[in-house]
């Protein structure tokens, strides 16, 4: 079982919390164990600003799947939850990105690991830093905390609440 696999989940259509919860349930059923959950973060949209804010969460998983098979499973989960791919950065029910897959560096036509844009996006780095601050990015050779400190992205990322869906407790954003 490989660990050190970090995913970023997010969405901005419909009941964002329900989609995140269902995505984590499907990940546990189809992919492997969830080892850690970050808090939930409400984030300004990236790329196309005239859309609803996203709800994002980073998780660490443990799986026997290789990276290509993991991607296939995650894309199937997105599809099952109503994800439609019309335009880059467009609104979506759920988006599941592979940020890190251990120390692996993968560059194929359909998969880039580490995620090639994560170091530029606070909405990815802030939740990831919460659960993996000392993990070293395999290409940049810097910790997640260092990458966050150097990130020039100024889009709003606000803690929304804490959620550990798989462990029976859910705290809202009150």
- The DSSP symbol for 137 reads P
Sign of the alpha-carbon torsion through 28, 87, 100, 59: negative
Selecting among 16, 97, 121, 122, the annotated active-site residue is 97
| Residue 97 annotated among the catalytic residues of the structure | yes
Selecting among 16, 83, 121, 122, the annotated active-site residue is 83
Selecting among 16, 92, 121, 122, the annotated active-site residue is 92
User: CB neighbours (10 Å) of residue 119?
Assistant: 20
| Residue 158 annotated among the catalytic residues of the structure | no
According to DSSP H, which parts of 33-141 are helical? 67-80, 122-132
| Residue 92 annotated among the catalytic residues of the structure | yes
| Residue 66 annotated among the catalytic residues of the structure | no
* Residue 72: closest CA among 108, 43, 34, 122: 108
φ/ψ of 49, rounded to 5, equals: -80, -20
Selecting among 95, 122, 141, 153, the annotated active-site residue is 95
Catalytic residues: 83, 92, 95, 97
């Amino acid at each position: 079982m490989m660990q050190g696999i970090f995913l970023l989940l997010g969405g901005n259509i419909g009941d964002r919390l329900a989609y995140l919860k269902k995505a984590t349930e499907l990940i546990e059923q189809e992919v492997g164990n969830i080892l850690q959950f970050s808090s939930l973060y409400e984030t300004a949209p990236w790329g196309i600003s005239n859309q609803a804010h996203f709800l994002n969460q980073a998780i660490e998983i443990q799986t026997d799947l290789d990276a290509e098979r993991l991607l296939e499973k995650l894309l199937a989960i997105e599809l099952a939850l109503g994800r439609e791919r019309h335009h880059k950065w467009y609104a979506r029910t759920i988006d599941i990105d592979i940020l890190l897959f251990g120390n692996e560096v993968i560059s194929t036509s359909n998969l880039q690991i580490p995620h090639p844009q994560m170091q530029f996006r606070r909405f990815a780095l802030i939740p990831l830093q919460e659960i993996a601050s000392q993990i070293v990015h395999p290409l940049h050779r810097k910790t997640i905390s260092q990458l966050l400190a150097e990130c020039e992205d100024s889009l709003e990322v606000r803690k929304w609440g804490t959620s550990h869906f798989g462990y029976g407790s859910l705290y809202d954003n009150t």
